[in-house]
Amino acid sequence: MNDFIDEKQEMYQALGIGREVYQFCENVWEGLKSRFERIDETAEYNQLKVIRAMQENRVSEACLYSSSGYGYNDLGRDTLEAVYASAFHTEDALVRPQIACGTHALAVALAGNLRPGDELFSPVGKPYDTLEEVIGIRPSNGSLAEYGITYRQVDLLADGSFDYENIKKAINEKTKLVTIQRSKGYQTRPTLSVKRIQELIAFIKDIKPDVICMVDNCYGEFVEKLEPTDVGADLMVGSLIKNPGGGLAPIGGYIVGKKEYVENAAFRLTSPGLGKEVGATLGVNQSFYQGFFLAPTVVAGALKGAIFAANIYEKLGFSVIPNGSESRHDIIQAVEFGNPESVIAFCKGIQAAAPVDSYVDPEPWDMPGYDSDVIMAAGAFVQGSSIELSADGPIKPPYAVYFQGGLTWEHAKFGIMMSLQKLQEKGLVSL
C-alpha cells in the first residue's frame, strides 16, 4: 500500500504538483469519502432512471443511425426525445443538435411561448449574462424587447431567500412566463434546490395558475434524484454540452415539458408548420444516447470535484459558495478571491491540468454576450463543454471564479490541485 501511495505521489509530482500541495489536498480528500458515497447512491438511482427510460421506449440499434436533409422519420431523434420525456417525467421533449447552446435553448423556449404584449418575469433576480441581450436588458438586435415583450424581476433577499411579498406584487395580468434560473450564473447567490423550486412554483401558481413556469436547469441535471419537472415546472431547458450530454454530445440542447409549450418552441426552432417534423441528426444520435446514459456517473464525478474544491479553498480562508459542508444542487463551485490575479492564476491551473491544450495560457478577453472581460479555462474534447473540467469568471468585483465539470472525479481532483499549485507559485496563497 505504501508503495502505491509513493507511486501516486510521484506521478502527481511528475505532472507539476509539489509535495506541500499534494499533502494538503490528500488530507482534505480523506475527510470527504463518506460524503462521496452518498453522491454515488444518487448516481446509481439516476442511472437506473435513465436505463428504465431507454428500455421503456425500446431504444434499438437503428436509433443510433443518422439522417440527412429534412430529417423526416428520424427514428433515433424521435425515440431520444421520448427517452428525455420519460426520464424527466414530461409530456414531450425537443432534443436537437440544431440548438447551439444553453442560451439558444432558452431563447427558443422564450420566443416560442411569448407574444407581443406579454411580460416575462424572473423572481430570482438577474439572469445569466448571455440572456440579458436575449431579453433586451442590454439592447440587442432581435431581442424580446424589440418584439414588445416586457421584462420584470424581483431580486432575492440578502440571505438568498425569495422575496415573496414583492413577487406577489410583481405578477400581473400581462405576466405570461416566469423564468427560474436554478444555478447561480456569475453571481454568488445560492443555487436553488428542487425543493425550493417546488415551493416557489407553488406560490406563483397559487397567484396565477395559468402562468408558464420555466426552469433553466443548466448544471443541475442528475445532481438530485428529482428534477424541476417532477415538482411543477411546465418547461425545463438545458444544454447537452453540460450535464445531460455526459461529455460525449458534441453540440445540442433540450427543452422538455408540457406538449403545447414544447411544440411552440419547436415551431420557433424550425418553422411554423414544420416544428418537430424536420431536423436531421447528421450522425450525432449515438453520442446523444451514450452521453445521456453516462450522464449520472459523469455528474457524480463533477460533484465530487466541486465539493473537493469548496473544502480546499474554504480551509485556506476564502469565501466559497456553496460552502464545504452544505447540500449541493448543481455542479458549479464559486470561490471569491477578491483580486483578478488569483482568478487568472486559478484558471491557468485548470488549463494546465487539461488533456487537450494543456500548454495554452488562458487570458481574459472581451467575449461576446458579456459586459466585462472574461477568462475561461477549458482544455476540452468538445469546445466550451462545461461538463468537462473548466473554470471561468468575469474580471470584475468580487473577482470570483466559477469551477465546474470533470468527466471523472480523478481528473477534477487533479485540476483543483493544479489550481492551488499555480496560486502557491504566485505567492497568492500560503499553505
pLDDT tens digit string along 290-311?
999 999 999 999 999 999 999 9
- Last residue within a domain, chosen from 260, 282, 304: 282
Q: How far apart are CA 140 and CA 342, in angstroms?
A: 33
Q: For 156-189, write each residue's pLDDT tens digit.
A: 999 999 999 999 999 999 999 999 999 987 777 8
pLDDT tens-digit map of 239-281: 999 999 999 999 999 999 999 999 999 999 999 999 999 999 9
Lowest mean pLDDT among 38-42, 87-91, 381-385: 381-385
Task: Answer yes or no: is pLDDT of 60 > 60.
Answer: yes
Q: For residues 67 and 230, what is the distance between their CA atoms, to the nearest angstrom?
A: 32
Instruction: Return the SS3 of 226.
Output: coil
Asked whether residue 369 carries a pLDDT value surpassing 90, the answer given is no
Residue 50 covered by a domain: no
| Alpha-carbon separation of residue 223 from 227, 297, 391, 421, 425 (angstroms) | 9, 10, 19, 29, 34
179 neighbors 162 (Cβ within 8 angstroms): no
CATH number at residue 198: 3.40.640.10
Q: Which residues, 6+ apart, have CB-to-CB distance to 59 below 8 Å? A: 79, 83, 289
Residues in Cβ contact with 48 at an 8 Å cutoff, skipping those fewer than 6 apart: none
How far is the CA of 234 from the CAs of 41, 91, 103, 128, in angstroms? 28, 10, 18, 20
> Which residue's entry shows cell 463543454?
385
- Alpha helical stretches, state H, 88-187: 102-113, 129-135, 164-170
Pair (317, 198) in one structural domain: no
Residue 136 has pLDDT above 80, yes or no: yes
Average pLDDT over residues 373-397: 93
Q: Is the pLDDT of residue 368 over 80?
A: no
Which pLDDT score, from 0 to 100, does residue 286 have? 98
Domain check: are 317 and 180 in the same one? no
Single out the residue in 257, 282, 307 at which a domain terminates. Answer: 282
Q: Are residues 240 and 345 in the same domain?
A: no
Domain membership of residue 221 (yes or no) is yes
Give the pLDDT confidence of 319-351 residue by residue, as tens digits. 999 999 999 999 999 999 999 999 999 999 999
- CA pair distance 243, 330, nearest whole angstrom: 10
- Comparing C-alpha atoms, which of 398, 400, 422, 428 is closest to residue 343? 400
Which pLDDT score is estimated for 4? 60
Quote the domain boundaries for residue 38.
Answer: 2-45+293-425
Pick the closest to residue 43 from 202, 180, 243, 185 (CA basis).
243
